[in-house]
A = this chain, B = another copy of it.
Amino acid sequence: MQELPEVTDPRIIDGKKIAQGIEADVKRGVEEFISEHGIRPALATILVGEHPPSKLYVKLKHWACKRVGIISEDHKLPQETTQEEIIGLIATMNKRPEIHGILVQLPLPGHIDEREVMMQISPKKDVDGFNPLNMGKMLIGREGFVPCTPKGIIRALEESKIDPHGMEVVVVGHSNVVGKPAAIMLLNRNATVKVCHVYTKDLKSHTVEADILIVATGVRGLIKADMVKEGAIVFDVGITWQDNKVYGDVDFDDVLPRVGLISPVPGGVGPMTIAILMEHTLMAARMQR
């Protein structure tokens, strides 16, 4: 994992610093929760297979649990695990009262139907916000457990005192885990929102219109300076792993001179998503008392 350089440029969102602030709040909340209820919040993670980035992400989540005082339980299953076995394990976790949050690390192996698996996690323990009931509540404006990456974007805007109300937002990528929920959460805040994706014609003609540009495609360096409006706020939340390093969807060095504010890869919203997962686990523990 790359070391994150210290952020001194005011145009660059320092996700690590925001994450530390969130974790400090969660840590205090965990202590309060323990003194009130005599038990400690707990997160169970489920990792299937040997996908190296997934293994790293799960490890980072366990480290974060340790920092904020949340118990973490680590379930590692082999690549060839069947869908029924994963669903069975989730059912067990749903039933155990001392487990408050369940996280299934995505992506799952190709023979597994991810959406089917996500539907099995009890909505109360769905700290990643992927259960359709929580997705649907978000869609109608009742945000509870929502996906952590788009929530990180909202949080970063709040920290930067930017209200998206009436602003033009362009989201590139229409995945269930980032693009669609990001669009919905910005719509809930009364931004004008456009969603583009791989089938969009003349992408640049759309991205240049954005006051806030959110990119989540997994195509390294897709966004160049000429695709960005002068002074725009750019959230790069795409991830490509190459030679044990992560790269974003935005050509950072090219784009930086044009932006008003940018969330880079690595170091932007990324570190925040794990802090938000901690927040959700505490929220889940509180809901289950």
The quantity of this chain's copies bound in the complex is 2
In whole Å, how far is A225's beta carbon from the nearest beta carbon of chain B? 22
Interface string of A156-172 (1 = CB under 8 A from B): 00000000011010000
Kindly report which residue of chain B lies nearest to residue A123, judged by CB atoms: B133
Question: A135 — which chain B residues lie within 8 A by C-beta?
Answer: 132, 135-136, 139-140
Binds B, one of A29-37, A44-52, A192-200, A235-243: A192-200
Question: A196 — which chain B residues lie within 8 A by C-beta?
Answer: 192
Instruction: Answer yes or no: A21 CB below 8 A from chain B CBs.
Output: no
B133, B184, B192, B199: which contacts A132 (Cβ < 8 A)? Answer: B133
In whole Å, how far is A69's beta carbon from the nearest beta carbon of chain B? 31
State which size class the interface on A falls in: 35 or more
A201 touching B195 in the complex, CB below 8 Å, given contacts A132-B140, A133-B132, A136-B131:
no
CA distance A133 to B118 in the complex (A): 13
**Which residues of A from 146 to 189 have beta carbons under 8 Å from B?**
165-166, 168, 174, 176, 180-181, 183-184, 187
A192 touching B187 in the complex, CB below 8 Å, given contacts A134-B136, A139-B176, A176-B140:
no
